[in-house]
Chain A
Amino acid sequence: MDAWILKATNLTKRYGPSCLYCTALTGAERSNRCPICGTVIACAKINFVLKQGEVLGIVGESGSGKSTLMQIVNLSLPADDGEVWYRERDKQKQFQEKPVNLLKLDKYTRRAFRNERLGIVHQRPELGLNMKFLVGGNVAEKLLLANWRNVGRIRERTAELMRLTELPPERIDDDPRMFSGGMLQRVQISKALSSNPAVLLLDEVTSGLDLSVQARVLDLIKHLQWELKMTMLLVSHDLGVIKQLASRTMVMKNGWAVESGLTDQILEDPQHPYTQLLVSSAL
């Protein structure tokens, strides 16, 4: 039995009224905006399979639908079409036979699932954090929702994560508005990792970080991958980050997946004209 944990089939998201001609008049080679009704196709028939402990990289230009895809998998944005299947593991770490379609969960199960099994780092920190809570409170929020009840342990865990992401733990009770952009990004990372999620969604995790912290964070992610066998979806503009972390990579353009394959193959022997442009433009 193959050990996939997350499988997305046919994921589609449209913004707009959508007409009969949307599919025919948009596409990777054209535009993602239907010239007749003005609908924007953010994601078009995206498929991927993630195995336990695998990291899938997603690259593509701005507006190619990467973040929309992340939001759908994070269950915070309804999809127009398609399914996201997840296979739960029991205490013996054996996969259960029956996968669950996450997009069909009711509101309460969905929220519980998101808090216990998923962790997300948004591109913009203010999307992932509540700026009215203190720094510690933001991390505690996720832990409380994932059924942690001991305040001492919650604070201990928060401080530990702050140390891991090189934030000064003594600033646990500070207002997040006093933090810089890069520091907020690290608070988000701490929050996402706090409940040891089964699937980690990283949307431009290293953008806004200075280089020394970036290296630290990438090393941290690498070890989560190897030692905790955490499964990840990794969106990044930085092909170097993708190369270091992802074993397979999907290239998106105008909402479509134009190419996917082993990361080193995508980077060294790209087949699609767009991927060739992307790779040849990297520093």
Chain B
Amino acid sequence: MHNIEQTRPILEVNHLKKAFHLHLVDGRVIEPFADISFQVSKGEFFIISGKSGIGKTSILKCIYRTYLTTSGDIWYSSQHFKRVNIATASEEVVLKLREHELAFCSQFLKVLPRVPAIDVTAEPLVQRGMERSEARKEAEQWLRRLGIEQSRWQTSPVTFSGGEQQRLNLARAFIARPRFLLLDEPTASLDATSKSIVLEMIREARAAGVTILTVSHDTASMQPLADNIYWLK
């Protein structure tokens, strides 16, 4: 039996619609999706799936406010601000949410060159005010866990393979222990071993109470973990 706090959705998306006005291409309007509604409960592992180009990542980006929502609501139950409509919230509130509660893990790692992998991983912690040496220690644990050799920790992730970069990217998302995690194709370019490590990380985070919303093609390997799957058509 769930109590009320658990059953109230942490994220409620109502009639979400996004339109891109391409002023440079004769003012053409592109609508990746319209009328999307779903709810994510606290502590859930929620998957959005569907074929390429249907707007899965765009939904995630709307929730993270990288994209401005054209119409519809994105209600998020925050720890700091109670219920926030991310679609219309002020920039200040969104920045606060990103700093303390929301994390977005994109498909591609974009980092400053010449910064060693260990510091790249520790970055989210340093950003939150943790001592650099302490943050590094924690980053070491994550790198070891994700199977990145110790000899490479001092090199820049620019030299890493695609799969290694993705693992590093995931480490950056998990290390900050967000309350709500948005993952964009977390297993896309990973081999079977790394994939199982990532799935284990997801399982662990969920057990710790983190709500995870992910966009993925790879429903086969994620389905056993998922609490809910939303199919885009």
Q: Which residues of A contact B (CB under 8 A)?
A: 2, 51, 211-212, 215-216, 218-219, 222-223, 226-227, 243-244, 247-248, 261-262, 264-265, 268-269, 271-273, 276-277, 280
In the complex, the 3 A-B pairs of residues with the closest C-beta atoms, listed nearest first: A273-B23, A215-B114, A269-B67
Closest residue on chain B to residue A248 by CB atoms: B91
Complex-state Cα separation, A222 to B126, whole angstroms: 10
Q: Say whether, besides A248-B91, A273-B24, A276-B24, A265 and B115 are in contact (CB < 8 Å).
A: no
Q: Are A277 and B67 in contact (CB under 8 A)?
A: no
Scan B92-117; emit 1 where CB is below 8 A from any A CB, else 0: 10110000000000000010111100
Q: Are A262 and B91 in contact (CB under 8 A)?
A: yes
For residue B127, CB closer than 8 A to chain A, the reply is: yes
Q: Are B112 and A219 in contact (CB under 8 A)?
A: yes
A-B pairs with beta carbons under 8 Å apart, 13 shown:
A219-B114, A226-B126, A226-B127, A227-B126, A243-B110, A248-B95, A265-B65, A265-B66, A265-B68, A269-B67, A271-B21, A273-B23, A276-B23
Question: Smallest distance from the beta carbon of B6 to chain A beta carbons, Å?
Answer: 31
Q: Are A219 and B91 in contact (CB under 8 A)?
A: no
Question: Smallest distance from the beta carbon of B5 to chain A beta carbons, Å?
Answer: 30
For residue B230, CB closer than 8 A to chain A, the reply is: no
Interface of A is mostly: helix
Q: Which of B13-41 contact A (CB under 8 A)?
A: 20-24
- In the complex, besides A261-B68, A262-B66, A269-B20, 7 extra interface pairs with C-beta distance below 8 angstroms are A223-B126, A265-B68, A268-B67, A269-B61, A271-B68, A272-B23, A280-B24
Tally chain B residues at the interface, Cβ within 8 Å.
23
Closest residue on chain A to residue B104 by CB atoms: A264
**Residues on A with beta carbons closer than 8 Å to the beta carbon of B112:** 215, 218-219, 222, 244
Question: Smallest distance from the beta carbon of B78 to chain A beta carbons, Å?
Answer: 17
Complex-state Cα separation, A109 to B67, whole angstroms: 44
Closest residue on chain A to residue B114 by CB atoms: A215
Q: Which of B66-89 contact A (CB under 8 A)?
A: 66-68
Question: Smallest distance from the beta carbon of A243 to chain B beta carbons, Å?
Answer: 8
Question: Smallest distance from the beta carbon of B69 to chain A beta carbons, Å?
Answer: 10
Q: Are A269 and B66 in contact (CB under 8 A)?
A: yes
Q: Are A276 and B66 in contact (CB under 8 A)?
A: no
**Residues on B with beta carbons closer than 8 Å to the beta carbon of A212:** 114
